[in-house]
Amino acid sequence: MTDKLSEAEIKEHIDPLLANGWTLVDGRQAIFKKFIFADFVEAFGFMTRAAIHAEKLNHHPEWSNVYKTVEVTLTTHDADGLSALDVQLGAKLDQLAGG
């Protein structure tokens, strides 16, 4: 089981993601970001690359894709909140999206 981040750890590790466009989700300990690409192929390519990294981490996002938009929510279900895995995957998704 993955450990849930403490409030101090959230401040330390999640704040850089928030500064890069992620937002805290109301009503649950999770973060959200909307990625917008030039077209469907770029969006789908991002999701394909992201899926490989998610699988390596054994940490899978809640996400959806409509045309050129990919919406992602990260939380760690077995920790009932945010964990280091969300920090790692969020940073990787930003890198893959070029941001």
pTM: 0.93
The DSSP secondary structure of 48-88, one letter per residue, reads HHHHHHHHHHT---EEEEETTEEEEEE-BGGGTB-BHHHHH
State the CATH number of the domain containing residue 62. 3.30.1360.20
pLDDT tens by residue, 14-34: 999 999 999 999 999 999 999
User: Tokens representing 63?
Assistant: 């996400």
Whole-number Å distance between alpha carbons of 76 and 68? 26
pLDDT band at 2 (very low <50, low <70, confident <90, very high): confident
Q: Is residue 1 in some structural domain? A: no
Q: Is residue 2 in some structural domain? A: no
Burial class (CB in 10 A: 0-12, 13-18, 19+), 42: middle
Q: Is residue 64 in some structural domain? A: yes
User: Domain of 81?
Assistant: 7-96
Number of domains, the chain: 1
Q: Is residue 31 in some structural domain? A: yes
Q: Is residue 46 in some structural domain? A: yes
